[in-house]
Amino acid sequence: MTTGRMVSFAKMHGTGNDFIVLDNRSHQFSTDELAACARAWCPRRYGVGADGLLALDHPRTSAADYRMHYANADGSRATMCGNGARCLFRFARRIGFDREPLAFDTDAGLYRATVSSRNASHVQLFVPDVTDLREHIELERSVPEAIQELHYAHAGTEHLVATVADIEAIPVRKWGRHLRNDPRLAPAGANINFMAADEGPSVRLRTYEKGVEDETPSCGTGVLAAATVARRIHRTKATDGLRVQTNGGTLHVGRATVAGDESLYLEGPAVSVFDGEIARPDGIP
């Protein structure tokens, strides 16, 4: 909804990964205009403050109920955001989408989501299996000695998973900034996930996100990438979903049946913080 130059939005978060969320079906901002909105509204001391901007739009495929567009805080486009997708599902429910489950288009393909049967405050996001996993990769830039292994995984977007022993001692911002644009990760770069894993049913994760260019409290696709590495490479076992502990809270990764098919899921909270209105950036009619 738009009143003059004012745009209605919801502020939401998933385990501390926070977003400005809007319904783009009425004002129809273009991709470039959404990027400009993200750059204007996401700075924490000069705007609303968020890691990114989520826009709900008309679907592009007949199987989808709506389309998800995601712009990072710097305006760069991201193909997928796991925490954001759960928040946009909750937003879609609030504005009248009631099919069960909901299906939505993203730049990474078709996804589905539903309210968790175990916890009504949680959303289960059903995602494709991670098929692009490259073990024990080497980079051109120097790698700190505390990093034991490096693995690449595409979980809707690009991720590098770095296993470490003492995750609290890692200077995430410094090392993440150093590694995220390594020439071996070109052209897209990658989010850098620092993971501590053991043989138990949980792992600990901290993430440096490209586009935010800083550590964020949580990263949903990073959780999926780390869970894939933990299970396939470190043989971490979990009978009822792997728990991934982030600074912003705990997310679960497991398998369940949706629309008749077994699928990988990411489960966690999607919280509405407040609603508001904000002026369009200069230059956007």
Residues annotated catalytic, as ranges: 81, 219
Taking the C-alpha atoms of residue 254 and residue 203, their distance in angstroms, rounded to an integer, is: 14
Beta strands 66-72 and 102-106, pairing class: parallel
Q: CA dist 28 to 96, 109, 123, 140, 201, Å?
A: 19, 21, 27, 42, 44
Under a CB-based contact definition with an 8 Å cutoff, are residues 241 and 117 in contact? no
Residues 6+ apart with CB under 8 A from 281: 36, 37, 39, 40, 41
Are 72 and 210 in contact by the 8 Å Cβ rule? The answer is yes
Residues forming a β-bridge with 69? 55
Alpha helices in the chain (DSSP H): 24-27, 31-41, 82-94, 172-179, 220-232
Q: Is 284 exposed, middle or buried (0-12, 13-18, 19+ CB in 10 A)?
A: middle
Q: Which residue has the tokens 């956007």?
A: 284
Other Cβ atoms closer than 10 A to 25: 13
Q: How far apart are CA 111 and CA 36, in angstroms?
A: 26
Tokens standing for 90? Answer: 């909750």
Q: How far is CA 54 from CA 13, 84, 94, 110, in A?
A: 11, 7, 15, 16
